[in-house]
Amino acid sequence: MAKATTTIKQVLNYQPAHAAWFAANQALFNQVVAFYFEVIQAHEQVLDLPNKEALTALEMLTHTTKKNPNPVMPLSDSVEDAPAMFRRAAINAALGSARSFYSHLCKWRSRREKALAKGHTWTLRPPVPPRSWNKSATLYAGQWKERTASSIMLKVWTGTCWSWIKIRITGRELPADVELGSPSLIRRGKQWWLHTPLEKQFSSPATIEQQVTTHAQTKICAVDLNINEQLAVCTIQTVAGTILATRFIGGGRRIAGFRKKLLGRIARNRRKTGMIAEGEQDNADRWRKIRNVDDSSAHLVSARIVQFARQHEATIVVFEHLGSLKPQKGKYSHRGNSKRAFWMKGRLFKYAKYKSYHEGMLTSRVNPRNTSRECAGCHSLVARYEEGQPAEGYTSGAPLVLCQECGMRGNADRNASLVIGQRLITRYHQSSQEKPPTPLAIERGEKSPGVAVCQDATREEGPSIPPARHADRNEHGTAQDGSLGMAERLSDIPH
Ligand SMILES: [Zn+2]
- How far apart are the CA of 311 and the centre of ligand 1, in A? 29
Q: How far apart are CA 204 and CA 235, in angstroms?
A: 24
Q: How far apart are CA 366 and CA 318, in angstroms?
A: 7
- How far apart are the CA of 400 and the centre of ligand 1, in A? 14
Q: 362 to each of 186, 210, 285, 299, 424, how far by Cα in Å?
A: 31, 12, 37, 18, 12
Q: What angle do CA 226, 231, 234 make, to 5 degrees?
A: 90
Buried b (16+ CB within 10 A) or exposed e, 177-191: ebeeebbbbbeeeee
- How far apart are the CA of 420 and the centre of ligand 1, in A? 15
pTM above 0.85, yes or no: no
State the greatest distance between any 2 C-alpha atoms of the chain, in Å, as a whole number.
89
Cβ-proximal residues to 387 (8 Å cutoff; 6+ apart), any chain: 399, 400
- How far apart are the CA of 401 and the centre of ligand 1, in A? 10
- How far apart are the CA of 375 and the centre of ligand 1, in A? 5
Q: How far apart are CA 37 and CA 253, in angstroms?
A: 50
Cβ-proximal residues to 182 (8 Å cutoff; 6+ apart), any chain: 89, 138, 139, 140, 141, 196, 197
- How far apart are the CA of 462 and the centre of ligand 1, in A? 10
Q: How far apart are CA 429 and CA 446, in angstroms?
A: 14
Q: What is the pLDDT of residue 477?
A: 36
Q: What angle do CA 441, 443, 488 make, to 5 degrees?
A: 110
- How far apart are the CA of 432 and the centre of ligand 1, in A? 26
- How far apart are the CA of 345 and the centre of ligand 1, in A? 28
Helix axes 281-311, 332-358, angle to 10 degrees: 40
Give the pLDDT means over successive 10-residue stretches in the chain (495 positions): 82 92 95 94 93 93 88 86 92 95 93 92 89 93 90 93 93 78 92 90 84 90 87 94 92 81 79 60 77 88 95 94 72 74 86 90 92 92 92 88 92 94 88 48 36 34 40 37 36 40
- How far apart are the CA of 371 and the centre of ligand 1, in A? 13
Q: Which of 155, 172, 152 is nearest to 164 (CA)?
A: 155
In this structure, how many other beta carbons lie within 10 angstroms of the beta carbon of residue 90? 28
The residue type found at 402 is: L
- How far apart are the CA of 166 and the centre of ligand 1, in A? 66
